[in-house]
Amino acid sequence: MTETVTYGVCRGDCLGHCPMRVHVRAGHVVKTSKLSHPIPEFERICQRGLTHVQRIYAADRLQHPLRRAGKRGEGKWEQITWEEAVEEICSKWKDYRREFGSGSIAFSDCAGNSALDSRPYTKRLFNLMGATRIDNSFDNSFFSGILDTTGDSPWSVGDDERNLLKAKYIFAWGSNLTEAGHVHYAFINKARDLGAKLIVIDPNYTIAASKADLFVPIRPGTDAVLAMSMLHVAIKEKLTDEETLGRGTVAPFLVKESDGKFLRLSDLGRAEPESEADAILLRDREGRLGTAEEITAPVLRGTFEIQGHKVTTAYDLLTERVQEWTPGRAAEICDIPAETIERLARMYAEGPTTLCGGYGPDHYANGQQFYYAVMALVLATGQIGKPGAGLNGHAMSGFLENYADIDELIEPPGCPERMTINAPLVPEALESGKYGDKPLVIKSLYVYDQNLLGNQTDRQLWLKALEKIDLFVVADVTMNDTSRYADIVLPAAHYFETDTYDMSYSGVAVYNAKAVEPLGEAKGDFEIVNLLGSGMGMEQEFSLTRDEFFRKALDNDKARAVGLSWDKLKEKGYIHVLKPETPVYMHGAGYTFPTPTKRGEFYRENVAPVADVGKLFDKKREALPCWNPPYEAWLTSAGGFPRSEAAEKYPLIFTSKRPKFRVHTQYSSNPWLLELWKEPVVTIHPLDAEKRGIKTGDTVKIFNDRGYVVVKAALNPANRPGVLVIDHGWQKDDFIEGHYSDLSSHKSDVMVTNNAFFDCAVEVAKR
Ligand SMILES: Nc1nc2c(c(=O)[nH]1)N[C@H]1C(S)=C(S)[C@@H](COP(=O)(O)OP(=O)(O)OC[C@H]3O[C@@H](n4cnc5c(=O)[nH]c(N)nc54)[C@H](O)[C@@H]3O)O[C@H]1N2
Ligand SMILES: Nc1nc2c(c(=O)[nH]1)N[C@H]1C(S)=C(S)[C@@H](COP(=O)(O)OP(=O)(O)OC[C@H]3O[C@@H](n4cnc5c(=O)[nH]c(N)nc54)[C@H](O)[C@@H]3O)O[C@H]1N2
Ligand code: SF4
Ligand SMILES: [Mo]
């Protein structure tokens, strides 16, 4: 039988973005296979990429628009036509808009399909409608800490993986790289062959830890203290990089005691405040003041009186801040010997060191504190923007530079004003009718590219919140925890069933040609949005064909400069757009950063909470790295910080880790992968198990005041005592009873609203 082969890019949220071949026979995808890459190191495909065929033809694949026929979640459906679905949704949306305003329609998305025709194009619809965006609030602590400190470069927050090969030390810090980033780990393996030392900082003895030169078991939720203590040691032992501090960071900027802002020309009456000419001032050894261009050898330390302003250098403030975190004091909090902390600091500063920061620390209510603290360490030791030194692993996102001009497509001129609200705050806001001091009414919620009820924290709270919502619409490829709860389900096409393009690793644009027709009546998000947009009376704005859309998106100077256009891409299949001279370390190269000051900002003069819901915060404290214990996951009174209230009743921490066999809940019904890993299992340290009479294979109930889950248990001495670990990505039907997302809390820090999955105290008992 003849076989045709098209190309595609795998683009769940594992961040691998592997290009692949899609093999088709008689109108059916029969297999996927690896596609050669211009840079051989990037040729790759994994067990999930090889099983797309079983996702496309999965039993839980949605094929027709459905209307709920029973109670929400009951699983009773009536098949309807697309016309009926669109008519019902749009007429209700028009009614809500009339009665409650545009903001009463909300939408939320995340990890399903990052390509332009899915997430960005759907945003165009809701932006034009003036709808409320629900920020999914996954990973916000990670991104806030890194982006606020070193900015958002075209490569997002990291370097090309090849930079790992030049590292002497690789810090896998809160990162489960062998499972959650095995495509990155391949480079770490190579780097180790070349002599790099791997340091793993993790509460649990992970697979990566078993390969490490140094494993540092840390007490959960204390990483910011370790980073600040390492910085303390680096400063004390003069291991910091004065050149980077002076030229590439805010270290020499003079912070006014009065308002915490940097001293500028306007403070001396020499420029209009906030005008372009209002430059930040530096001081040299002779006491001369001037701009960064004028003062080439600024002082990094000192407190001065300048025309009535008492100022101190930002570096002195940082030094003062980490003063209390002596290795001895940090040892108590982090449960790591003081000598190990000193050793870690010396290695980090010696370099070249690459930080592979994971999302473990992100998943606590105090998560962002780690990323601010560790980025201060990175900057002060100058371990960024150089061969072998920088950020990598999950921080690497070369594909985000996708050469497309989409800002105006997503947000055409004239879009009404809209609110963005953070998911963990939504259930309570719906209950009270207020988001901060703003009124909030949501009558309809549209979820796509996200399995909200599988992946948000505190599922029971969400289920209750949904009772306030009259029309819940879900567009998804599969019948999952979320689509099951919808009032109307729209069947989305798998991406190999659509004509699209994506940037694969590292800088290869791939034409993802439609390999087969969408299954049943499924449609790509692009087509769904065009239908809904027209239904809302915006035929003009939603009349583009896919070809026209992509041609327009790639018709720009950035794309032209690298020889990329939609037509060329369709003709060639894939185009390697990165130039050979493109450096493999983009972030911080040449001492410049894409931040407002163009410098690494370990001091934040305009610090403010990400979600401004009127909560009070201490500006002086938050402007620099700081730490407080996690909200629930604080089981001891180490360092004099009293044990959390929740831990009085629930003395274990409930966490999860990514398994190799799925990306979040995607692939979770895939028969080949289920053969390898068939059910959720909670691992428990033998000491914790013994106390509760639990043995491997027992069925156990994990519970707290919010909910419970019943699963099989396995004893594992690799767990840190006190920590339970379950694989991430299972859904309601996979658990014996309950749901693991019923356990987690929606609480997060005032500064960054984030889903804190691991900041969760529980108890476990044999059933
Ligand atoms: N317990 C626990 N929960 C967690 C985490 C954890 O560590 N522990 N991690 C969290 C993190 S960091 C993240 S990023 C989130 C991810 O959370 P989600 O974004 O909810 O992740 P997925 O389960 O991958 O859901 C993506 C959905 O998009 C659908 N989809 C795929 N392609 C398309 C498409 O083209 N169109 C449409 N409309 N839909 C499509 C998929 O079928 C799938 O249902 O999970 C979070 N949840
Ligand atoms: N296979 C697979 N790969 C994925 C994904 C997936 O769903 N499946 N999801 C992708 C996404 S969206 C994300 S955000 C990333 C997540 O990437 P990772 O963060 O690497 O993934 P996790 O498996 O959640 O690993 C968290 C690690 O943090 C550790 N940890 C827990 N608490 C602490 C702590 O207090 N301190 C420290 N230092 N470590 C701690 C855990 O033991 C674990 O090793 O993975 C991406 N890659
Ligand atoms: S799941 Fe990730 S690593 Fe595997 S093929 Fe897809 S993009 Fe690559
Ligand atoms: Mo994530």
pLDDT at 400 exceeding the cut of 60: no
pLDDT at 733 exceeding the cut of 80: yes
Residue with tokens 């889903």: 755
How far CA 390 is from CA of 148, 323, 343, 362, in Å, comes to: 16, 25, 20, 19
660 CB neighbour count, 10 Å cutoff: 18
**What phi and psi, each to the nearest 5 degrees, are found at residue 85?**
-60, -50
What atom in ligand 2 is closest to the CA of residue 728? 7
Task: Give 446's strand partners.
Answer: 107, 473
Taking the centre of ligand 1 as the mean of its atom positions, its distance from the CA of residue 759, in whole angstroms, is 20
2-6, 41-45, 371-375, 553-557, range with the lowest pLDDT: 41-45
Would residue 438 count as lying in a domain? yes
Taking the centre of ligand 2 as the mean of its atom positions, its distance from the CA of residue 655, in whole angstroms, is 10
Would residue 374 count as lying in a domain? no
Residues 642 and 735 in one domain: yes
**What angle do helix axes 223-236 and 367-380 make, rounded to 10 degrees?**
20
Residues 569 and 647 in one domain: no
Would residue 244 count as lying in a domain? no
Would residue 709 count as lying in a domain? yes
Task: Report the percentage of the chain scoring pLDDT > 70.
Answer: 97
What atom in ligand 2 is closest to the CA of residue 138? 14
Using one digit for the tens of pLDDT, what is the confidence trace for 356-375?
999 999 999 999 999 999 99
pLDDT at 212 exceeding the cut of 90: yes
How high is the pLDDT of residue 66?
98
Taking the centre of ligand 3 as the mean of its atom positions, its distance from the CA of residue 506, in whole angstroms, is 14
Task: Specify whether the CB–CB gap between 110 and 400 falls below 8 A.
Answer: no
Q: Is 629 in the pocket of ligand 2 (CB under 6 A)?
A: no
Neighbours of ion ligand 4 (CB under 5 A): 138-139
Residue with tokens 């030094």: 319
Residues 644 and 572 in one domain: no
Q: Which ligand is nearest to the CA of 726?
A: 1
**Protein residue whose Cα sits closest to atom 22 of ligand 2:** 657
Among 576, 604, 625, which residue terminates a domain? 576
> What is the arithmetic mean of pLDDT over 622-636?
98
Structure tokens at 188: 């770490």
pLDDT at 398 exceeding the cut of 70: no
**Does the global pTM surpass 0.85?**
yes
Q: Which residues contact 270 (CB under 8 A, 6 or more apart)?
A: none
Cα maximum dimension of the chain: 85
Residue 663: strand, helix, or coil: strand
pLDDT at 586 exceeding the cut of 70: no
Radius of gyration (C-alpha) of the chain in whole angstroms: 26
Distance CA 184, CA 167 (A): 14
How high is the pLDDT of residue 155?
61
14-18, 115-119, 209-213, 424-428, range with the lowest pLDDT: 14-18
Residues 555 and 698 in one domain: no
Residues 443 and 554 in one domain: yes
Across the chain, mean pLDDT equals 94
Distance CA 107, CA 464 (A): 18
What atom in ligand 1 is closest to the CA of residue 658? 7
CA 171 to chain centre: 19
DSSP string, 455-482: HSS-HHHHHHHHTT-SEEEEEESB--TT
Using one digit for the tens of pLDDT, what is the confidence trace for 73-95?
999 999 999 999 999 999 999 99
Residues 547 and 407 in one domain: yes
pLDDT at 681 exceeding the cut of 80: yes
Q: Which residues contact 70 (CB under 8 A, 6 or more apart)?
A: 76
Question: Residue 290 belongs to what H/E stretch?
Answer: strand 289-290
> What is the arithmetic mean of pLDDT over 495-503?
92
DSSP string, 102-154: GGGEEEE--SS--STTTHHHHHHHHHHHTPEEEE--SSHHHHHHHHHHH--BT
Using H for helix, E for strand and C for coil, what is the string for 172-220?
EECCCHHHHCHHHHHHHHHHHHCCCEEEEECCCCCHHHHCCCEEECCCC
564 CB neighbour count, 10 Å cutoff: 22
Using one digit for the tens of pLDDT, what is the confidence trace for 459-498?
999 999 999 999 999 999 999 999 999 999 999 999 999 9
Instruction: Residue 630: name the closest of 605, 610, 611, 655 by CA.
Output: 655
Residues 650 and 565 in one domain: no
Would residue 688 count as lying in a domain? yes
Q: Which residues contact 130 (CB under 8 A, 6 or more apart)?
A: 102, 103, 415, 416, 417, 418
Using one digit for the tens of pLDDT, what is the confidence trace for 641-674?
999 999 999 999 999 999 999 999 999 899 999 9
Distance CA 730, CA 549 (A): 36
| pLDDT band of 401, cuts 50, 70, 90 | low
Sign of torsion, CA 487 488 493 499? Answer: negative
Strand order in the sheet with 309-313: 254-256, 309-313, 303-306
Is pLDDT larger for residue 529 or for residue 44? 529
Residues 432 and 539 in one domain: yes
**Protein residue whose Cα sits closest to atom 26 of ligand 2:** 360
Residues 655 and 526 in one domain: no
> What is the arithmetic mean of pLDDT over 127-137?
98
Would residue 241 count as lying in a domain? no
Structure tokens at 592: 């410049």
How high is the pLDDT of residue 579?
64
Distance CA 686, CA 207 (A): 18
Among 560, 576, 592, which residue terminates a domain? 576
Q: Is 201 in the pocket of ligand 2 (CB under 6 A)?
A: yes
Residues 648 and 545 in one domain: no
**Protein residue whose Cα sits closest to atom 44 of ligand 2:** 176
Task: Specify whether the CB–CB gap between 765 and 378 falls below 8 A.
Answer: no
Report the domain count for the chain: 2
Residues 477 and 550 in one domain: yes
Q: Which CATH number fits the domain that encloses residue 77?
A: 3.40.50.740
Residue with tokens 């072998």: 388
Would residue 702 count as lying in a domain? yes
Using one digit for the tens of pLDDT, what is the confidence trace for 560-585?
988 999 999 999 998 888 765 565 66
> What is the arithmetic mean of pLDDT over 215-234?
98
pLDDT at 434 exceeding the cut of 80: yes
| Domain range for 557 | 66-135+401-504+508-576
Using one digit for the tens of pLDDT, what is the confidence trace for 29-82?
999 999 988 788 888 999 999 999 999 999 999 999 999 999 999 999 999 999
How high is the pLDDT of residue 618?
96
Using one digit for the tens of pLDDT, what is the confidence trace for 179-202?
998 888 999 999 999 999 999 999
Would residue 114 count as lying in a domain? yes
Task: Give 252's strand partners.
Answer: none
Q: Which CATH number fits the domain that encloses residue 722?
A: 2.40.40.20
pLDDT at 703 exceeding the cut of 90: yes
Among 576, 597, 616, which residue terminates a domain? 576
How high is the pLDDT of residue 576?
84
Task: Give 25's strand partners.
Answer: 28
Distance CA 676, CA 698 (A): 20
Taking the centre of ligand 4 as the mean of its atom positions, its distance from the CA of residue 395, in whole angstroms, is 11
Residues 564 and 710 in one domain: no
